[in-house]
Structure 1
């Protein structure tokens, strides 16, 4: 059995919650990071949803690739499914990543993609709508605004640019 690669583009980047051998920036083609998921558990509730990130169709997503030892593979997959699939809003996929460590090596990684047919799929919301949901959202993992600001802070730390998310964060911090 080979090592497992996991692609993180949101909270997995700054709070993976599993053991890994190494991590490095990576690029995923065909998807982009988007606040396109209504959060009913971690950052909101069904009555007062927040918004969390998903991989949505089109573009490129920059994030972090985590290499997991082969003997931890099943344990990490079980953990990711429990964490990411709590309401089945994501589709588990294996996708080709390009590692951005200077090697441009391609690896197959487990990714969690937004299920556009799921009732929690929000699609592309206007900035004012995103603000409203983020400001109201508070769930099992805390306030939605913390999720957005922590993600933005981590993206900046690792020099990944996301202009739309950064603008939203600036507006949220100004509130």
Structure 2
């Protein structure tokens, strides 16, 4: 595919590596599967009342971590492939300002703007894309966590956008659908742990988690709230 069909000076491209894969931004006219390199995707970003949790029980969502920084940390999951799969969206030229404003609101909780090279799955020309990343210096960044405790936390968290587990399972399915090689080991392991928790075939959820579920009964956490997009 010729590069001028994908990218021009006036074009605006956005890379989605989390909920943007299964909840696209408005006003896009092209959706391209592919990957970026030099990062690791982890469920190490918190969300409070904005999306998949509450102020007292924030949920967990993904962020990208520069691989050079990630290699200084101790993680329970191997880093996996250097390719972080997702989707690039080209926004209609007349709607760029509107979409940028929408994204700034959607991604404001701990996320900052970065630019990175995106490699389309069909091996056409590289696209320069904007991406929102929750960097380690923001106060919503959690860092490495025990996978089982993280899965339990995701299982019990819920916010205005719905259960945190729906975010995890939707991301798993969306990634699996992009390419035969687009699955993410970290996401897959957490999803498998969550399914075992749901079926009762895994280790009993911690006492803290059980007490949290009991406290939620009749609380404002359970009140129906307006649907918002996740990250």
Q: What is the aligned residue count?
A: 172
Q: Which residue of 1 aligns with 2:85?
A: 62
Q: Which runs of 4+ in 1 moved over 3 A?
A: none
- TM-superposed deviation, 1:169: 0.4
Instruction: Give the whole-Å Cα distance in 2 for the aligned partners of 1:66 and 1:17.
Output: 8
Query: Cα deviation per residue 1:54-88 (whole Å; 9 max; x = unaligned)?
Result: 11111441111111122211111111111011x2x
Q: What is the aligned-residue RMSD (CA, Å)? A: 1.4
Q: Out of 10, 13, 38, which is 2:21 matched to?
A: 13
Say whether the 8 Å CA contact 1:6–1:67 is kept in structure 2: yes
Matched with 1:23 is 31
- 8 Å contact from structure 1 (residues 135, 145) kept in 2: yes
CA offsets, 1:104-145, max 9 Å, x none?
x11111101112112210112120121122022111100000
2:121 maps to 1:100? yes
2:125 is the alignment partner of 1:91: no
TM-score when normalising by structure 1: 0.92
2:186 counterpart (152, 157, 164): 164
Matched position secondary structure for 1:145 = helix
Distance in 1, Cα, partners of 2:42 & 2:26: 24
1:46 corresponds to 2:46: no
- Long gaps (5+) in structure 1: none
Q: 2:151 aligns with which of 110, 122, 131?
A: 131
Give the structure-2-normalised TM-score.
0.71
Correspondent of 2:96 among 66, 69, 73: 73
CA distance in 2, matches of 1:122, 1:16: 26
- Larger % of strand: which? 1
Where does structure 2 lack aligned partners over 5 or more consecutive residues?
Answer: 1-8, 68-81, 198-231
Which protein has the larger Cα radius of gyration, Structure 1 or Structure 2?
A: 2
